[in-house]
């Protein structure tokens, strides 16, 4: 996946870079490096973005991410 394809896929999913990072546990700096073509985009990224296009997948991913974030903050 190229940085341009990554950006287009984020737009297709109506996700900001920060939202994508929150959902996937990716560091914002890492994702910024992907967009700047300073670091290769891992193979799991296009797969994940494709899965996010399935009906109901994005809300489910958001709910799971929130659950795990809450559990981590509670120790």
Res. 75 pLDDT band, cuts 50 70 90: low
Res. 70 pLDDT band, cuts 50 70 90: confident
Q: Which domain holds residue 13?
A: 3-74
Res. 69 pLDDT band, cuts 50 70 90: confident
Encoded tokens for 1: 């996946």
Tell me what pLDDT residue 74 has.
Answer: 76
Phi, psi angles (nearest 5°) of residue 26: -85, 140
Please give the tally of structural domains in the chain.
1
Q: Are the beta carbons of 31 and 70 closer than 8 angstroms?
A: no
């Amino acid at each position: 996946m190229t940085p341009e394809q990554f950006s287009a896929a984020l737009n297709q999913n109506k996700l900001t870079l920060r939202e994508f990072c929150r959902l996937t546990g990716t560091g914002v700096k890492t994702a910024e490096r992907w967009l700047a073509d300073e670091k290769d985009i891992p193979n799991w990224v296009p797969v994940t973005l494709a899965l996010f296009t399935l009906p109901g997948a994005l809300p489910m991913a958001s709910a799971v991410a929130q659950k795990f974030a809450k559990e981590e903050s509670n120790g």
